[in-house]
């Protein structure tokens, strides 16, 4: 898509007119949650948060892949990185995430562990081909957006006979997390979630149907949206209209990228390589059927089997309210640790760790 | 000379002499260096400004420049930002054994040409060759000496409420050129490093407008980091308007692809200038007269902090009219997962 077209999506005059309509449509407080780190950052970075009507309350859900990677999973990454004969290949944003012992991949790298930042799984396969004496383990973190690319890399490794390539899959699935979030104990009155902005990239893969239960079973309006200010404003307008009409609906407002049916090819690759499994989420705990494991056909490339990795829950971090933040029950700045014991320099909880985490975004961008 | 740099070239013996004579002296030639003493004896008048920097860049040759000219531009610019006219450079080479001689000559040629263009002499130097693996190809240290021409000199703690914030041109070019080359990415419109010596533009500015409050080159950490340092040191709020900040469309596009923010990317040929509001237009006119600063723009203003006890900060007014903080990064920017 050309940059000129994208420019229209942050045209101040267009945005202002949607904002005006939003103001006219609102009938009361609208507590919306987005479930994508890119949305979190876009809302803060564009300054949108500071010009939204007071009635609109922005909650950031468990949509940042780094944030929801469990401490125990980070520990597993660190243990692997420190094994002789292993090169760990990872996306850059995992480098600074602390495990339960406060250690990071960046620190492990400084101590001599072989950790390489890559931009895509094929880069990791190339790394494996260049280092035949080592096992190159790609750290598989991310949602439905990232998983198909990793699945394709496993197919590629198998086809090319790159026998020293491994993947440690901790991929997670968005819809089961939404169900878990909405099935959790009832929030105090006025503290729940009224509506959702659904992640654009994830939906491009899974399509809109997996969100149907959010609307029909839990009665929440949901809009799939892009990441430009105008995208987000239009989604909010739709959610406000649903609230005014008292009829929760589901809409795909990101048609320039997302087809209603998603991407069947990408899903087929995922299904060929992965099977679903229970997964641990930071702040949310164990969610049934919310993870992806490497299936039997690709067992030879599975780092979990090769290195005998087992993940066990560990106690939550004392004082950290990230679980409440991720569920939309607490604003980041109301956590007692926020900005004091917990800052981007020394993050305690997951939401402060990633640049796309809600606490980090709040700390970084919020003026008042 | 051999086609690869050998350990012998750093031994101080005949091989070293050949390297100095046939390479360094040839490209850096000036009367002081020609005397071939252990050091240099220099004449300066009044206050002097000194700055040192060590250069390591991967890749050594990148679109728009190389480590040799960068070693001149970086130090010359740091000296100029102190309100000085750079005069002399010292230059230390730390070379990994086995570096192709052709690469070394290319770097030295480029460094010599950049020094001549900036009007500075390389007056003394040093060469060390270390065993393979003990360093990555080539490190260069340069120290610059310049004569301070204004009093008081511009400084990071002199930004005052009401001052105008000016930038000499587009942001993020160098950082994106390096990152994209390192990652083997190419864009439709190639992104070139902006690396350049700014001392002539700075001298013209200071000779005409001696009351420049702050001069800084937004290198590592980019505009955002540099302005935060200034805001903290001066205890003020630096208020920027996003729409006014110049970023090339290809840099914006590349950053958006990689999940990077151009305001945090390094620049090697731009300077930030904070002047009294009354001098802003005159400063821009002088800057724009230099081809390296043709894109100079006013990007914001300095304001008093909103509350007592608040620490200095940078606030960005976005294109939509919203406001947000433009903070400092924790470490280097890392490309994102999705």
Q: Note the pLDDT tens digit of each residue in A15-44.
A: 999 999 999 999 999 999 999 988 999 999
Q: Which of A12, A45, A142 is the closest to B338 by Cβ?
A: A142
User: Is pLDDT of B338 > 50?
Assistant: no
Position B14 confidence tier, pLDDT thresholds 50, 70, 90 = confident
Position B334 confidence tier, pLDDT thresholds 50, 70, 90 = low
What's the confidence (pLDDT) of residue A4? 64
Q: Determine what percent of chain A falls in helix, strand and coil, rounding each to the nearest 5.
A: 45, 20, 40
Q: What proportion of chain B, given as a percentage, has pLDDT over 90?
A: 80
Is there a contact between A91 and B323 if contact means CB atoms under 8 Å apart? no
What's the confidence (pLDDT) of residue B335? 54
Residue A303 is given by DSSP the state H
What mean pLDDT is predicted for residues B189-205?
Answer: 95
Residue B112 is given by DSSP the state H
Q: DSSP string spanning A26-71?
A: --S-EEEEE--HHHHHHHHHTSHHHHS-TTEEEEE-S--HHHHB-H
User: Is pLDDT of A11 > 90?
Assistant: no
What's the confidence (pLDDT) of residue B148? 97
Distance CA B50, CA B75 (A): 9
Q: Is B323 within 8 Å of chain A by CB? A: yes
Position A273 confidence tier, pLDDT thresholds 50, 70, 90 = very high
The SS3 of residue A304 is helix
The SS3 of residue B163 is coil
Is there a contact between A117 and B322 if contact means CB atoms under 8 Å apart? no
Is there a contact between A12 and B321 if contact means CB atoms under 8 Å apart? yes
pLDDT tens for each residue of B244-259: 999 999 999 888 777 7
CA atoms within 13 A on the CB side of B10: 18
Phi, psi at B42, each rounded to 5°: -120, 155
Distance CA A143, CA A156 (A): 20
Q: Which of A335-344, B69-78, B91-100 has the lowest mean pLDDT?
A: A335-344
Give every CB contact of residue A277 below 8 A, 6+ residues apart in sequence: A289, A291, A292, A293
What's the Cα-to-Cα distance from A346 to each of A235, A343, B290, rounded to whole Å? Answer: 35, 5, 44
Contact predicate B233/B312, CB 8 Å: yes
What's the confidence (pLDDT) of residue B82? 97
To which H or E segment does residue A166 belong? Answer: strand A165-169
Distance CA B301, CA B35 (A): 50
Distance CA A314, CA A266 (A): 34
Q: What is the pTM of this model?
A: 0.83
Residue B305 vs residue A101, higher pLDDT: B305
Is there a contact between B335 and A117 if contact means CB atoms under 8 Å apart? yes
Contact predicate B7/B110, CB 8 Å: no
What mean pLDDT is predicted for residues A224-246?
Answer: 96
Neighbours of B189 (CB within 10 A): 12
Query: Computed from CA positions of residues A156, A162, A163, A169, in that sequence, does the dihedral angle turn out positive or negative?
Result: negative
Residue in B77, B91, B170 with CA at minimum distance from that of residue B124? B91
Contact predicate B70/B268, CB 8 Å: yes
Distance CA A72, CA B249 (A): 42
Is there a contact between B337 and A91 if contact means CB atoms under 8 Å apart? yes
Residue B330 vs residue A81, higher pLDDT: A81
Phi, psi at B49, each rounded to 5°: -110, 135
Residue in A364, A49, A8, A12 with CA at minimum distance from that of residue B319? A12
User: Is pLDDT of A311 > 80?
Assistant: yes
**For chain A, what is the mean pLDDT?**
92
What's the Cα-to-Cα distance from B192 to each of A228, B63, B65, B246, rounded to whole Å? Answer: 28, 5, 8, 16
Q: B335 contacts in A (CB within 8 Å)?
A: 91-93, 117, 119
Length of chain B: 338
Neighbours of A368 (CB within 10 A): 8
Q: Is B162 within 8 Å of chain A by CB? A: no
Q: DSSP string spanning B66-100?
A: EHHHHHHHHHHHHHHTTTEEEEEEEEEEEEETT-B
Burial of B45 per CB tally in 10 Å (0-12, 13-18, 19+): exposed
Distance CA A354, CA A97 (A): 7
Closest-CA residue of B relative to A171 is B337
pLDDT tens for each residue of A71-99: 899 999 999 999 999 999 999 888 888 88
Position A50 confidence tier, pLDDT thresholds 50, 70, 90 = very high
Closest-CA residue of B relative to A48 is B322
Burial of B170 per CB tally in 10 Å (0-12, 13-18, 19+): buried
What mean pLDDT is predicted for residues B298-314?
Answer: 94
Distance CA B93, CA B19 (A): 12
Q: In what order do the strands lie in the sheet with A221-225?
A: A56-60, A30-34, A195-199, A221-225, A250-252
Q: Which of B6-20, B31-45, B147-161 has the lowest mean pLDDT?
A: B6-20
Mutate to test the interface with B, among A93, A98, A105, A147 (most CBs of B within 10 A): A93
Q: B242 contacts in A (CB within 8 Å)?
A: 47
Q: Is the ipTM of this complex over 0.90?
A: no
What mean pLDDT is predicted for residues B253-275?
Answer: 91
Residue in A349, A363, A97, A96 with CA at minimum distance from that of residue B328? A363
Distance from CA of B296 to the nearest CA of A (A): 23
To which H or E segment does residue B156 belong? Answer: none
Q: B318 contacts in A (CB within 8 Å)?
A: 45-47
Distance from CA of A318 to the nearest CA of B (A): 24
Q: Is B307 within 8 Å of chain A by CB? A: no
Residue in B25, B106, B97, B94 with CA at minimum distance from that of residue B62? B106
Is there a contact between B320 and A12 if contact means CB atoms under 8 Å apart? yes
Position B151 confidence tier, pLDDT thresholds 50, 70, 90 = very high
Q: Is the peptide bond before B77 cis (omega within 30 degrees of 0)?
A: no
Is there a contact between A47 and B323 if contact means CB atoms under 8 Å apart? yes
Residue in A277, A146, A269 with CA at minimum distance from that of residue B338? A146
What's the confidence (pLDDT) of residue B337? 47
Position A180 confidence tier, pLDDT thresholds 50, 70, 90 = very high
Q: A201 contacts in B (CB within 8 Å)?
A: 338
What's the confidence (pLDDT) of residue A2? 57
Q: A355 contacts in B (CB within 8 Å)?
A: 334, 336
């Amino acid at each position: 898509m050309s940059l000129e077209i994208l420019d229209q999506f942050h045209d101040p005059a267009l945005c202002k007119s949607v904002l005006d309509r939003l103001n006219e449509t609102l009938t009361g407080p609208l507590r919306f949650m987005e479930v994508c780190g890119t949305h979190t950052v876009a809302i803060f970075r564009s300054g949108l948060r500071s010009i939204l009507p007071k009635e609109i309350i922005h909650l950031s859900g468990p949509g940042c892949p780094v944030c929801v990677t469990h401490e125990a999973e980070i520990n597993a990454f660190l243990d692997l990185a420190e094994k002789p004969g292993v090169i760990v290949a990872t996306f850059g944003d995992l480098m600074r995430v602390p495990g339960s012992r406060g250690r990071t991949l960046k620190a492990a790298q400084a101590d001599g562990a072989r950790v390489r930042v890559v931009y895509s799984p094929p880069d990791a396969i190339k790394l494996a081909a260049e280092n035949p004496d080592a096992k190159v383990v790609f750290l598989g973190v991310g949602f439905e957006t990232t998983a198909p690319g990793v699945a394709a890399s496993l197919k590629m490794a198998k086809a090319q006979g790159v026998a020293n390539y491994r993947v440690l899959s901790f991929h997670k699935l968005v819809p089961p997390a939404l169900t878990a979030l909405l099935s959790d104990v009832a929030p105090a009155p006025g503290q729940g979630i009224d509506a959702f902005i659904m992640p654009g990239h994830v939906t491009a893969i899974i399509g809109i149907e997996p969100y149907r239960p959010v609307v029909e079973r839990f009665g929440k309006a949901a809009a799939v949206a892009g990441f430009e200010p105008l995208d987000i404003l239009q989604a909010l307008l739709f959610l406000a209209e649903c609230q005014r009409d008292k009829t929760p609906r589901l809409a795909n407002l990101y048609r320039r990228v997302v087809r209603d049916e998603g991407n069947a090819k990408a899903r087929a690759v995922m299904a060929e390589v992965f099977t679903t499994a229970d997964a641990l989420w930071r702040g949310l705990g164990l969610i049934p059927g919310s993870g992806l494991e490497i299936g039997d056909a690709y067992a030879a490339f599975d780092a979990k089997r090769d290195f005998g990795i087992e993940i066990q829950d560990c106690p939550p971090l004392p004082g950290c309210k990230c679980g409440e933040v991720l569920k939309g029950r607490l604003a980041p700045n109301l956590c007692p640790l926020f900005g004091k014991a917990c800052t981007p320099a020394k993050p305690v909880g997951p939401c402060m760790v990633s640049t796309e985490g809600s606490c980090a975004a709040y700390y970084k961008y919020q003026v008042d | 000379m051999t086609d690869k740099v050998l350990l012998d070239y750093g031994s101080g013996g005949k091989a070293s002499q050949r390297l100095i004579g046939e390479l360094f002296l040839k490209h850096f030639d000036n009367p002081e260096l020609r005397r071939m003493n252990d050091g240099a004896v220099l004449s300066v008048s009044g206050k002097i400004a000194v700055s040192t920097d060590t250069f390591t860049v991967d890749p050594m040759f990148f679109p728009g420049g190389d480590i040799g000219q960068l070693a001149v531009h970086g130090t010359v610019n740091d000296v100029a930002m102190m309100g000085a006219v750079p005069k002399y450079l010292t230059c230390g080479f730390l070379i990994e054994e086995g570096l192709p001689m052709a690469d070394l000559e290319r770097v030295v040629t480029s460094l010599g040409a950049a020094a001549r263009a900036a009007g500075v002499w390389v007056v003394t130097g040093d060469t060390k060759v270390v065993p393979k693996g003990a360093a990555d190809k080539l490190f260069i240290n340069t120290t610059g000496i310049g004569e301070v021409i204004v009093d008081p000199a511009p400084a990071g703690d002199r930004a005052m409420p009401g001052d105008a914030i000016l930038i000499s041109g587009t942001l993020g070019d160098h950082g994106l050129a390096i990152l994209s080359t390192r990652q083997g990415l190419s864009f439709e419109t190639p992104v070139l490093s902006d690396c350049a010596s700014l001392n002539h533009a700075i001298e013209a500015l200071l000779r005409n407008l001696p009351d420049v409050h702050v001069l800084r080159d937004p290198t590592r950490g980019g505009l955002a980091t540099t302005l935060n340092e200034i805001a903290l040191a001066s205890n003020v709020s630096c208020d920027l308007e996003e729409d006014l900040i110049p970023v090339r469309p290809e840099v914006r596009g590349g950053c958006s692809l990689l999940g990077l923010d151009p305001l945090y990317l390094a620049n090697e040929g731009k300077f930030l200038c904070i002047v009294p509001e009354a001098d802003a237009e005159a400063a821009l006119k002088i800057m724009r007269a230099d081809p390296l600063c043709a894109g100079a723009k006013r990007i914001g203003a300095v304001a008093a902090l909103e509350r007592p006890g608040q620490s200095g900060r940078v606030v960005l007014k976005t294109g939509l009219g919203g406001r947000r903080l433009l903070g400092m990064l924790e470490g280097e920017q890392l490309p994102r997962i999705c």
